[in-house]
Amino acid sequence: MSVYINPIANGITVSLMIIYLAFIPVLIYQYRKNGTFLVRKNIVLASFAVYMITAFFMTLLPLPSIEAVKNMAPIRANYHPFLFVKTFLNESGFIWNEMGTWFRAFCSPSFYTVAFNVLLTLPFGVYLRKYFNKGLFQTAVLGFLLSFFYEATQYTGVWWIYPHAFRYPDVDDLIVNTLGTVIGFYAAGLFDKLLPDPMKDKSLKTEYASLLRRLISLLIDSIFVNIVYELLRVVVLLAAGKKENTIDIVLYLISVVIIFILIPCISKKKRTFGMTILKLALRDGKGNVPRLSGMIMHNLFIAFWLNVAVNIIGMIDNAWIIIFLQLVVLGFAAALLIISIKNKRVTYFWEKFFDTYMKADL
């Protein structure tokens, strides 16, 4: 079973890493285009990525060393269609009118190898019909092309990385994989109601700015703060030739002022980089661009509570000051949570105080 388990584990691991790296860019794109995070669509896309990568790994792994392949005798491909039927009948002991031979035959390698190849591409047929709206003929052709890619990868020694093939290219795999895709096409119809439907996701072109959208915006601004901070550190270190925590704190505060105050002040729509990328904007109670003083106080408040207080903790040596700042941050989080629970929605209580409200820029 390790022949199958290891490639599956590796495929899932790699695909999850790709999903992790793509998560923030996908969030940004969907917030800009649709105004919301499309949960069902992203579940489908993520599962499709996991399936495609895992299926490919199952046809490829484990990879031998190049030296080992050099010492192997060249592997001859099978060009005889339906050889798997003859192999099954000769090696499994299957006799159609003797029920006692059936179980033993279905447990033989000549059967479960073919069954594996059917199951390998069965999900592909489901995805093509359910989520890509392909007909039967298109599904069969795409299933054949996917299988052909697998076989070509094996036949060429992973596209000539290896001196020759180290796996057994087989025309029967093309037939069986294509059959698996077609079976998946029909299976999609049977399980249609059990599968997530991306069409139920709706664009949310409203002014409401969700907590996740705000946090992504803040994350982007924090990245820019750290970029400016590191650039300032380089300049100061080159000029002064020494490093001190006090200087680091001052440089970090200057970086925060540049990103959260200076940039919005000089920008046309009074937005930070993160707000621009996420299509967010500050508005007053009447829906207009807020006063400059209100914008500055709002951004300073956000920058301190959710950025400076967290990052400066790592720059301070005094344990009592660290504990105090941690308690302050926890107190802020607790206040936000309690007020939000009371109002039965996420409530940003400081917005009313400054008369500045974060809205989606439609």
Asked if residues 26 and 42 have their Cβ atoms less than 8 Å apart, the reply is yes
Take residue 164 and report the two structure tokens written for it. Answer: 């020759």
pLDDT in the model for residue 358: 82
Residue ranges per domain, the chain?
Answer: 2-200, 211-360
Cα separation, 112 vs 116, in Å, equals: 6
Cα separation, 5 vs 1, in Å, equals: 6
Cα separation, 280 vs 30, in Å, equals: 13
Angle between helices 83-91 and 171-190 (to 10 degrees): 90
Strands 357-360 and 280-283: antiparallel
pLDDT in the model for residue 335: 76
Task: Supply the DSSP string of 252-265, one letter for each residue.
Answer: HHHHHHIIIIIHHH
Q: Which helix (H) or strand (E) holds 281?
A: strand 280-283
pLDDT in the model for residue 218: 87
Q: What is the Cα 186 distance to its own chain's centre?
A: 29
pLDDT in the model for residue 180: 93
Asked if residues 275 and 252 have their Cβ atoms less than 8 Å apart, the reply is no
Q: What is the Cα 68 distance to its own chain's centre?
A: 36
pLDDT in the model for residue 51: 92
pTM for this model (two decimals): 0.74
Asked if residues 173 and 117 have their Cβ atoms less than 8 Å apart, the reply is yes
Phi, psi of 237 (to 5 degrees): -65, -40
pLDDT < 50 stretches in the chain: none
Residue 277, CA distances (Å) to 30, 35, 168, 257 in order? 11, 12, 50, 19
pLDDT in the model for residue 330: 75
Asked if residues 306 and 314 have their Cβ atoms less than 8 Å apart, the reply is no
- Label residue 326 left, alpha or beta by phi (over 0 means left) and psi (-120 to 50 means alpha): alpha
Provide the terminal-to-terminal Cα distance of the chain, rounded to the nearest Å. 54
Indicate the residue type of 183: I
Take residue 151 and report the two structure tokens written for it. Answer: 């076989």
- pLDDT tens digits for range 246-282: 677 788 888 989 999 999 988 888 889 999 998 888 8
pLDDT in the model for residue 136: 92
